[in-house]
A and B are shown apart, each in its own frame.
Chain A
Amino acid sequence: MAMNAMTSIDEQIAIAAAGLRLEGVRKAYDTAVALDNVTIDIPAGAFTVLLGPSGCGKSTLLRLIAGLDRPTSGKILLGGNDITRKPPAERDLSMVFQSYALFPHLTVAENIIFGLRVRRVDKAERWERLNRVARMMGLDGLLDRRPNQLSGGQQQRVALARAVISERPVCLMDEPLSNLDAKLRAEMRVEIRDLQQRLGLTMVYVTHDQVEAMTMADHIVVMNQGRVEQVARPRELYAAPETTFCARFIGTPPMNLISARDLPAYRHLPEGSLVGVRPEDMIVDGEGVEAVVEGVEYLGADQLIAARIGAAKIIVRQPARTGAPDAKVRLSWPAEATHLFDADGRRLH
Chain B
Amino acid sequence: MIKREWIHAWLLLLPALVLLFGFTHIPAVQTFIDSFWSTPRGRRPSTFVGWDNYARMTADPVFLRVMTNNLIYAAITIPASIAISLWMALFVHRRIMGLGFLRMAYFTPTVLPLIAVANIWLFFYLPGFGLFDQIRGLFGLRPVNWIGQPSTALYSITAVTVWNQAGFFMIFFLAALQTIPENLREAAALEGTSRWTFFWRVTWPLIMPTTLFVSVNATINAFRMVDHVFVMTQGGPNNASALLLYYIYDQGFRFWDTAYAATLTVVMVVILAIIGIGQFFLLDRRVHYR
Write the residues of chain A forming the contact surface with B, with a CB cutoff of 8 angstroms: 66-68, 87-90, 93-95, 97, 99, 101, 103-105, 114-115, 118-119, 146, 148, 162, 166
Are B290 and A89 interface neighbours, CB within 8 A?
Answer: no
Contacts of A95 in B (CB 8 A): 186-187, 190
What 1/0 mask marks residues of chain B from 276 to 289 whose CB sits below 8 Å from any chain A CB? 00000000000001
Q: Which of B188, B190, B290 gathers the greatest number of chain A CB atoms within 10 Å?
A: B190
Are B183 and A89 interface neighbours, CB within 8 A?
Answer: no
Select the stretch in B26-34, B53-61, B191-199 that faces chain A: B191-199
Are B205 and A88 interface neighbours, CB within 8 A?
Answer: no
Interface size classification for chain B: 10 to 19
Given A114-B191, A118-B192: A148 touches B186 (CB 8 Å cut-off)? no
CA distance A68 to B189 in the complex (A): 8
Are B189 and A101 interface neighbours, CB within 8 A?
Answer: no
CA distance A67 to B290 in the complex (A): 30
| B198-240, CB < 8 A from A | 201-202, 205-206
- Whether B184 sits at the interface, judged by CB under 8 Å, is yes
CA distance A90 to B191 in the complex (A): 9
CA distance A99 to B187 in the complex (A): 11
Are B202 and A103 interface neighbours, CB within 8 A?
Answer: yes
Contacts of A97 in B (CB 8 A): 183, 186-187
Given A103-B202, A104-B289: A166 touches B183 (CB 8 Å cut-off)? no
Are A101 and B289 interface neighbours, CB within 8 A?
Answer: no
- Whether B98 sits at the interface, judged by CB under 8 Å, is no
Whole-angstrom distance from the CB of B192 to the nearest CB of chain A?
3
Q: Which of A88, A99, A115, A162 contacts B183 (CB 8 A)?
A: A99
Are B190 and A93 interface neighbours, CB within 8 A?
Answer: yes
Contacts of B202 in A (CB 8 A): 103, 105
- Whether B45 sits at the interface, judged by CB under 8 Å, is no
Contacts of B188 in A (CB 8 A): 114, 118
CA distance A105 to B203 in the complex (A): 10
Are B189 and A87 interface neighbours, CB within 8 A?
Answer: yes
- Selected A-B contacts with CB under 8 Å, 27 pairs: A66-B190, A68-B189, A68-B190, A88-B189, A88-B190, A89-B190, A89-B191, A89-B192, A89-B193, A90-B192, A95-B187, A97-B186, A97-B187, A99-B183, A101-B181, A101-B183, A103-B202, A104-B206, A105-B202, A105-B205, A105-B289, A114-B191, A115-B192, A118-B191, A118-B194, A146-B289, A148-B289
Contacts of B201 in A (CB 8 A): 114, 118
Which residue of chain B has its CB nearest to the CB of A90?
Answer: B192
Are A105 and B192 interface neighbours, CB within 8 A?
Answer: no
| B153-171, CB < 8 A from A | none
Are A118 and B193 interface neighbours, CB within 8 A?
Answer: yes
CA distance A97 to B187 in the complex (A): 8
Contacts of B194 in A (CB 8 A): 118
